[in-house]
Amino acid sequence: MFPNLSLPTLAGLTPPGHEVILCDENVEPVDFETDADIVGLTGYVVHKRRIFELAEAFRSRGKRVVAGGPFATLCPEELRDRVDVLFVGEAEHTWPAFLQDLEAGRARAEYRQADPPSMLDSPPPRFDLLKVERYRSMTIQFARGCPYNCEFCDIIVMYGRRPRTKSVAQVLAEVDAIHRLGVHNIFVVDDNFIGNKKEAKALLRALAAWQGARGYPIEFMTEMSLNVAQDDELLDLMKRAHFATIFVGIESPRRASLAESNKSQNLREDLVAAVHRVQAAGIEVMAGMIVGFDHDDPSIFEEQFRFIQEARIPISMTGMLNAVPKTPLHARLKAAGRLVAESVGDQFVFTNIVPAGMSRRQLYEGYRTLLRRLYDYRNYRRRSMAFILSRGGLLGTRLLAGRDDLAVFARILWTCLFRTSPRRAWLTLTMCLETVCRRPRALRHALTLALMHKHLYEYVRETSRRLEALLRELGDSEPAV
């Protein structure tokens, strides 16, 4: 669990004299009886129903409600009449302008950032306003934007194709601030950390020096494109800076589907070999995978399963293709009459497109089966252990960091072995025993993966129930293509 970075960033943009309270519904309930003068809302397209509910609840209590973020930027027409002030685009300039206008009594109904602001204008986030103890990780951002042009992606719509970066000094100051809070995990929430490789390498060199001088106290995670595997220097710098995990949008093992979606960066080499090269550098790959491309037929589900197992990717965030408003995919499918809804829902249980290579029923059924197979106990154990035993070493990795780590380890192990189902106890015990025998320094990671399976398995069960409800709604109305 990690916090949404937009909240502390907006707080950092707020001048002295304004009291700011942050609320993250992931970790705390909303105080509907707050005495705040302004209530600000942010969220993604998938959160639109909740944003509507919150806006209505606070406006009915006489509060001035303002909203921004991805949903407001991508779907302003859906939100404009539901809030008092709407922010479209990034807020480094528009939020301070709104506060000035508000004090002068001339606040407008809409603020729009036409040109992408410089990241040098982004202030240090107010991490001190977060309930830090409720998160596993803190978040920072180095870059916005991505140089690629994937048809389905909304990042380039919101942030552009020319990556903008903070200075090395800005990032180090934020890392220092988080370190002082006693946090040991940082998620760098970039759209593509290596969108500007030159700047990324400069930051990694500085982070490697910072880590080495302090005994590697921080474990980093970030998001980037798979072409990282083609750059040995970059992989070495990431290892030295203690980047333990990266999330990569692989999307599909099917070349025709990658070409269709303009995912050119994943067509340049063998995908399994690329993932293995990253893992050999000591870095875990979490994958973003998609089913439902035009070139996907019912055989894609088996193809996806085989790829994830062979690539030794423990955690794959697999979803169905959705057409997000303002993306090239949305425009193409709308023109073709292949949208069943304008905006998207949860891509893990819903798609707003009419598939080309199969019916919606086949897509839902195949997707449900794929999720169940991926997080079946034995399949998950097989690829997780294959990764643990083949992963390269990571600088600064210790079996257990100290007495506190040992206590946490013992508590988690007790829960996983004696306060859970027999199958889960089997998974935890066999993963830990094999790791102790064959790679003892990876024991903590083996236990972490065993623990994560519990949440992933429960999520798949809930997703399956929701998919079954959608299938009942479809009935026999959609025969196979």
Q: Tens digit of pLDDT for each residue in 421-450?
A: 889 889 998 999 999 999 998 988 998 999
Could you give the CA distance from residue 203 to residue 237 in angstroms, rounded to a whole number? 9
Mean pLDDT of 212-217: 94
Q: What pLDDT score does 52 carry?
A: 97
- Provide the pLDDT for residue 398: 56
pLDDT, position 393:
77
Average pLDDT over residues 146-152: 95
pTM of the model: 0.91
Note whether 169 and 210 are within 8 A (CB). Answer: no
- Compute the half-sphere exposure of residue 313: CA atoms within 13 Å on the CB side of its CA: 29
| pLDDT above 70: percentage of residues in the chain | 93
Query: How far apart are the C-alpha atoms of 472 and 65, rounded to whole Å?
Result: 38
Check residue 280 and report its DSSP letter.
H
> What residues have CB less than 8 Å from 225, skipping those under 6 apart?
146, 148, 192, 194, 195, 248, 249, 265, 266
Q: State the pLDDT confidence band at 473, using cuts at 50, 70 and 90.
A: confident
Residue 38 clears pLDDT 60, i.e. is over it:
yes
Assess contact for 192 and 165: CB atoms under 8 A.
no
Amino acid 394: pLDDT = 65
Backbone φ, ψ for residue 238 (5° rounding): -65, -40
Residues 6+ apart with CB under 8 A from 227: 194, 265, 268
How confident is the model over 182-206, as pLDDT tens digits? 999 999 999 999 999 999 999 999 9
Confidence of residue 346 (pLDDT cuts 50, 70, 90): low
Are the beta carbons of 236 and 281 closer than 8 angstroms? Answer: yes
pLDDT at position 404 = 53
Q: What is the pLDDT of residue 60?
A: 96
- What's the pLDDT score for residue 272? 98
**Residue 114: band (very low, low, confident or very high) from pLDDT cuts 50, 70, 90:** confident
40-82: per-residue pLDDT in tens? 999 998 899 999 999 999 999 999 999 999 999 999 999 999 9
Confidence band for 349, pLDDT divided at 50, 70 and 90: confident
Q: What confidence tens digit (pLDDT) does each residue in 454-463 have?
A: 999 999 999 9
Domains observed in the chain: 6-112 (3.40.50.280), 136-388 (3.80.30.20)
Token representation of residue 91: 């807020």
State the DSSP code for 391.
P
